[in-house]
Amino acid sequence: MKKIILIRHAKSSWDTITDDLTRPISKRGIKDAHLVSDVLKEHLPHKSIIWTSPAKRAKETATIFCQNMDLSLECVIIREGLYTFEQSKLREEIKKCKNEHDALILFGHNDAITKFVNKFGSETFDNVPTSGVVVINFDTDDWGSITSGVTELTIFPRDLK
């Protein structure tokens, strides 16, 4: 059994003129990331690997989540391939996860996350919101062969306010 915890980065700030990779998260994004991560910590698997996009907003989101869930920041692995907005590229990156890991926590971007969730999960969404979490279980022991999974849990900021 493989489990993926997909987390869309927190709301980004458009106040600063910067390129896409260095855009930080906003004050609202910080609040939402704290809110959602407080709930997610009750649903974490005992052991997992943590990957994040190299984008500043994804790394900042990963930092907040890890601190709130008592996960070591040293365990967060920056994966260049997660800086994608395409579902097919996201899937290819996930397929690279070593099978010794049964749970993957992934911080990434839309449209890739919403389209991945809709293609491989058992529920569909118009949009996975910023700081949104979707947990999908796959009945396989091989990340390379994930197909259809079961959506186990969703945590969206709007449902917690």
User: Read out DSSP for 124-156?
Assistant: --S-PPTT-EEEEEES-S-GGG----EEEEEE-
Relative to beta strand 133-138, strand 150-155 is: antiparallel
- Residue 112: the pLDDT is 98
158 pLDDT higher than 80:
yes
Kindly state the average pLDDT of the residues 104-110. Answer: 97
Q: Would the annotation count 57 as a binding residue?
A: yes
The helix (H) or strand (E) run that includes residue 6 is strand 2-8
- Residue 59: the pLDDT is 97
132 pLDDT higher than 90:
yes
- Residue 145: the pLDDT is 94
CB 107 within 8 A of CB 51: yes
Could you give the strand order of the β-sheet that contains 133-138, starting from the edge strand earlier in sequence? 76-78, 49-52, 103-108, 2-8, 133-138, 150-155
Using a pLDDT cut of 90, give the percent of the chain over it. Answer: 90
Please provide the average confidence, as pLDDT, over all residues in the chain.
95
Domains by residue range for the chain, with CATH: 2-155 (3.40.50.1240)
Q: Using CA of residue 106, residue 110, residue 112, residue 115, what is the dihedral sign? A: positive
- pLDDT tens digits along 16-62: 788 889 999 999 999 999 999 999 999 999 889 999 999 999 999 99
- pLDDT tens digits along 112-123: 999 999 999 999
